[in-house]
Structure 1
Amino acid sequence: MRVTVLAIFNRLKAQPDMYMNVFGESVLNDAVGLVLYKVLSAFLGGKAVTGGNVMGGIGLFIGIFVGSTVIGIAVGLLAALIFRSRYFYSGPVGLAVVFAYGSYLLADCIHFSGIVAVVVNGMVMGLYVRPNLSPEAEHKIENLFRVLASLFELFVFVYIGTTLFLQEEQFNIFDYTALCLLALALSRAANVFPLSALVNWLRPPERHIPPKQQFLMWWSGLRGAMAFALAVDAAEKYGVYGRVRRGTAGQGGTAVGGRLVLSDTSAE
């Protein structure tokens, strides 16, 4: 998972650029995956797959992403305006959390992507709020978010791990799991390497993303925190097929050799 890779980077004191490239790509990838899941869920829910509906789905995807970005920017600029007064120069720390979480809640309430909003909000606040904080307040806020991130990532690990022992059903999904891993590797390669080449073309040579970092971005993307969360949602919505997806994402079902055979015979 991403948290494992980043923890290793911290332990080895990896280059900051490599850390930020891997972290930024993976977070934005999670956000895109969540928005895309919402769009595709409309078709899985019974919406006819026609040319017009497909184009509408693409437009919805773009609209959700752009709308979430606007919300993140707006809340971030509001925070910058308030902190610019220097009234909160030494804190309070909780106010920064309110703005960050507020952008997530606002986007989620209007059925946009809270992850996209909070990522963009963090970028804006990092640029325009941080310069208006005292070193002590900046240190406190940074440590607070580090602790919260570690706790939430720990919860994800524990939840995925315990799911393995809480499932009563067993799926024979070795072939399906292998196919998913192959599709993930190919799709990420088609995403990371061409976009990295585009970034390198736009940047001066000293700011190019080297091949080793591109490889790390491709490989470290094979993690499952967001994928597992979406798979849990699919398991609740799409019956046995959704539970197969959950078993593949978090190994909640037992993968053994052979074809895709569902031992759960209950009518869905």
Structure 2
Amino acid sequence: MDYYFIASILVVLAAAFGYINVRFLKLPNTIGLMLITIVFTLVVFAISYFDSTLLDAEKFIITQIDFKSVLLDVMLSFLLFAGALHTNFEQLKVQRWPVLVFATAGVLVSTFLVGTAMFYVLQLFGLEIAYIYCLLFGALISPTDPIAVLGILKKAGVPKKLETKIVGESLFNDGVGVVIFLTIFQIANLHGATFEPTDIIVLFGQEVLGGIALGLLLGWVTYRLMKSIDDYDIEVIITLAAVMGGTLIAQKFHLSAPLAMVTAGLFVGNDTVRASTMSEITETYVDKFWELIDILLNTILFVLIGMEMLVLTYEGHYIVAGIIAIPIVLACRFTSLVLPINFFKKRLDFVPNTNIIMTWGGLRGGISIALALGLTQEMHRDLFLVITYVVVVFSILVQGLTVEKLVKRLAKGNGD
């Protein structure tokens, strides 16, 4: 496989589609790029009835890319570090307890609610799917995607207190969601072997606590190195090394790389560390470098999501099941947030209608598709991949396009 050729094609497509969006559609990049790519793929499908050259080329590109590996093992670390680096740490510290509960208990509750609901819904289609496989779908669709959320909320005018909750939750809950998914995945793969509750606790603790601990260590080492010199070129490279080296360490010792990168990014990006380690020019270069990485990888990611249409199995009842899954996923997210929000709103100043805005603004994206691609055929991969794709497309195109209007209607008159 010619990696340079494929990377070049993806960057050229991303640049072309990005230009079309900025020049003509003027939509948030996340939405515009995915919409243009889907339309492009549909046009390629139509042209293939007369000449299949373009379709064959696009199929070649998408089949040569291991989307799950590319996103979860490579791109996600860069994107999460960049997102965390620019997150308001002081606001996040104030909102740390609700964010923690949303990102852990909220994802767990949603996983079981979605899994249980889909177990019964799929039976209506005559699909006898084992409950454990429905839980896998619940685990992969419950985390909100920080990559999709960050890009859209910046333009939606969400009050800062609420934006911190949604962004903070998204940064952490994808790491937690991946761990929950992998845990259920291992249980589903046992084929009659035993799996003790203590094994689940150890696995979960190792991934989550180990990932956070590694992130703190990476952040501290990065801080000490940057504090001891004043050279913006090398300091930018140090942050890059922290992400790349830290991801390798996390993968080697089976720790959560996403949680490690979020923790390291928050550590390096908080105002106290910035003030004591970075000169003004260093801060500018570090921020601009990671903004560029963020934009470039985001652009490529959503082009890839649009092109993933080529790997779907177009069964009519699969698509109908996906459409039915949309309100189920939204209802389960709303339900999973009810108790935490009612508990914390007495202690913290919550924006009115927080639950509705967090439900509609909690977008699904590439992480859900990547996890669905990791399912085996025995786990009904084709079915759950189609359902996941339908939910993700609705989430980004419909929820993403309307969240700004919803925020203005529900949170109008509330300050930041």
Instruction: Name the CA shift for 1:251/1:178 in 2 (closer, same or farther; >3 Å).
Output: closer
Among 82, 88, 93, the alignment partner of 2:230 is: 88
2:243 corresponds to: 100
Match of 2:54 in 1: none
Match of 1:154 among 299, 302, 305: 299
The 8 Å contact of residues 2 and 26 in structure 1, kept in 2 or not, is answered as yes
The residue type equivalent to 2:246 in the other structure is: S
Give aligned pairs, total: 244
**Alignment correspondent of 2:172:** 28
Q: Which amino acid aligns with 2:366?
A: A
How far did residue 129 of structure 1 move? 3.8
2:163 alignment partner AA: Y
Q: Do 1:184 and 1:222's aligned partners in 2 also have CA atoms closer than 8 Å?
A: no
Corresponding position: 1:130 with 2:130: no
Structure 1 unaligned regions, length at least 5: 253-268
2:182 aligned with 1:38: yes
1:163 corresponds to 2:308:
yes
1:226 aligns with 2:370: no
Q: Secondary structure at the match of 1:173?
A: helix
TM-score normalised to structure 1 length: 0.78
C-alpha spacing 1:25/1:112, structure 2 compared with 1 (3 Å): same
Give runs of ≥4 in structure 1 deviating > 6 Å.
Answer: none
CA separation in 2, counterparts of 1:154 and 1:79? 28
Question: What is aligned with 1:193?
Answer: 338
Partner deviation per Cα, 1:18-75 (whole Å, 9 max, x = no partner): 333221111212111111111111111125486x624432442133101111111111
Compute the displacement of 1:194 (Å): 2.7
CA distance in structure 2 between the aligned counterparts of 1:109 and 1:79, rounded to whole angstroms: 20
2 CA distance for matches of 1:177 and 1:165?
Answer: 17
RMSD of aligned Cα (Å): 2.8
1:64 aligns with 2:212: no
| 2:322 corresponds to 1:177 | yes
Q: TM-score, normalised by structure 2?
A: 0.52
Give the whole-Å Cα distance in 2 for the aligned partners of 1:125 and 1:223: 27
**Percent of counterpart pairs with the same letter?**
20
- Tell me how far 1:186 sits from its aligned partner: 3.5
Quote how far apart the aligned CAs of 1:173 are: 1.7
> Which residue identity lines up with residue 38 of structure 1 in the other structure?
L
Alpha-carbon spacing, 1:166–1:42, altered in 2? closer, same or farther (3 Å): closer
Does the Cα contact within 8 Å between 1:171 and 1:244 map onto a contact in 2?
Answer: no
Contact 1:164–1:251 under 8 Å retained in 2: no
Once the two structures are overlaid, the 10-residue window that deviates more, 147-156 or 179-188, is: 179-188
Q: Which residue of 1 aligns with 2:8?
A: none
Of Structure 1 and Structure 2, the greater helix share is in 2
- The 3-state SS of whatever aligns with 2:339 is helix
Any idea what SS the aligned residue of 2:307 has? Answer: helix
Q: Report the CA distance between 1:185 and its aligned residue.
A: 2.3
Question: Which stretch has the larger CA shift, 222-231 or 56-65?
Answer: 56-65
Higher relative contact order (CA 8 A, sep 6+): 2
Q: Distance in 1 between matches of 2:264 and 2:338?
A: 27
1:83 CA displacement: 1.9
Q: Offset at 1:228? A: 0.6
2:264 matches 1:114: no
* CA distance in structure 2 between the partners assigned to 1:90 and 1:40 by the alignment: 44
* Cα deviation, residue 219, structure 1: 1.9
Shift of 1:223: 1.1
Shift of 1:241: 0.5
Contact (CA 8 Å) 2:212, 2:260: kept in 1 or not? yes
2:312–2:385 Cα contact (<8 Å) kept: no
The reply on whether 1:210 has 2:364 as its aligned counterpart is: no
Q: Contact conserved, 1:91 with 1:133, CA < 8 A, in 2?
A: no
- How far off is 1:91 after superposition? 4.2
